[in-house]
Amino acid sequence: MCRAGRRVEAGCLRTDGFSWSGGEHHATGCHSDPDRPGHRGSRLSSFPDPRGSAVSRTVVFAGDKGGSGKTTTSHALCHGLGMHGVRSIHVTTDPRRLVLPADSRRYATVDGREVRQLARVIDQLANRDDVVLVIDGGGGRPEVDAVLSKVADLTVIPFLHSAEDLRVAVADLQRLSHAYGLPNRWPTQTWAKAAAEKELTKAMGDLGSRLMSPLPEINGLITLVSEEGANARINGQCKAFALRILERMGLNLFSFRAPAA
């Protein structure tokens, strides 16, 4: 469900002794690296939505489990959008990850690993309808997921077909009521696919209506997170994935084309 027009209540993003509100950063104390979104002692309240009722085109890849594919799928979306000629910006928020260079990609890459910088990026893209903002979350940060989902048109929770991934994905979907689950690196062999879908149906129950169709295992997808950029062999799959995400947001390629004079 597209969340355009949804207002986020006024407030500020807080981390131990620090708060951000209205573009200002106020220090009220000092703890070890408190300005990281993933700081263990963080106390996050509501994130200010600078866009008012005009929520921009923002996709957040979230989920409590690490290694489920948030980073690769977020880059796959940006690469696919770029192949379609749609501008996008990839924002890294996990302090454990490096920001990949943009010069070998079809999209911009931005450092959002600090609260102030992340808030600044979102604020600067207010009222921009020609760009898709793609925010790559990090595992083990449910409070951050909750904050970011409030400024997203679409929150996607990728997960693999292991029992642990399914368990955590169920909890994520229950916690983030507007999010959609994305079965990721899904088996394509007939028997393995059938077994995975059986376990998926059993685990999800009523949450099955909030699942996107599976993203199959794509050979070469890992090249998206290399410094050299994506291998051309994955272009088609990334383009198809981008169209699926746009459709889920209620958009299409014509949404980004200027009207004829």
pLDDT tier at 129, thresholds 50, 70, 90: confident
| Closest among 85, 108, 132 to 253, alpha carbons compared | 85
- Angle made by CA atoms 109, 182, 89, in degrees to the nearest 5: 15
Is the pLDDT at 148 greater than 90? The verdict is yes
- pLDDT, tens digit (0-9, with 9 covering 90-100), for 158-186: 999 999 999 999 999 999 999 999 999 99
Percent of the chain with pLDDT over 70: 77
User: Is the pLDDT assigned to residue 7 strictly greater than 80?
Assistant: no
Where is pLDDT greater, at 234 or 55? 234
CA distances, 75 to each of 33, 162, 180, 234, 242 (Å): 27, 23, 18, 12, 10
Question: Looking at residue 259, what is its pLDDT?
Answer: 63
Tell me the CATH class for 52-254. Answer: alpha beta
Q: How confident is the model at residue 5 (pLDDT cuts 50, 70, 90)?
A: very low
Above 90 in pLDDT, residue 33? no
Q: Name the pairing type of β-strands 180-186 and 13-15.
A: unpaired
- The conformational region for residue 63 under phi > 0 = left, psi -120 to 50 = alpha, else beta, is left
Query: What band does 126 get if pLDDT is binned at 50, 70 and 90?
Result: low
Long-range contacts of 94-99 (CB under 8 A, 24+ apart): 94/38, 94/136, 94/137, 94/138, 94/139, 95/36, 95/37, 95/38, 95/138, 96/38, 96/138, 97/71, 97/136, 97/138
Residue 74 pLDDT > 80, yes or no?
yes
Sheet holding 131-136, edge to edge: 108-111, 87-92, 131-136, 58-61, 154-159, 180-186, 215-216
Q: Residue 6 and residue 252: Cα distance in Å, rounded?
A: 20
What's residue 184's pLDDT?
A: 98
CB atoms within 10 A of CB 82: 20
pLDDT of residue 260: 59
Length of the chain: 261
**pLDDT at residue 30 greater than cutoff 60:** no
Helices (H), 84-162: 115-124, 142-149
Which is it for strands 13-15 and 58-61: parallel, antiparallel or unpaired? unpaired
Answer yes or no: is pLDDT of 107 > 80: yes
| pTM of the model as a whole | 0.81
pLDDT, position 20:
31
Q: How far apart are CA 159 and CA 19, in angstroms?
A: 32
Could you tell me if 36 and 115 are in contact, meaning their C-beta atoms sit under 8 angstroms apart? yes
| Domain definitions of the chain by residue range | 52-254
Mean pLDDT computed over every residue of the chain: 82
Residue 5: which residues within 8 A CB-CB, separation 6 or more? Answer: 53, 54, 55
Closest CA to 161 of 124, 133, 199: 199
Q: What is the pLDDT of residue 257?
A: 79
* Average pLDDT estimate for 87-103: 94
Res 64 pLDDT > 50: yes
> Contact, 80 vs 253, CB < 8 A?
no
Residue 35 pLDDT: 39
pLDDT at 133: 95
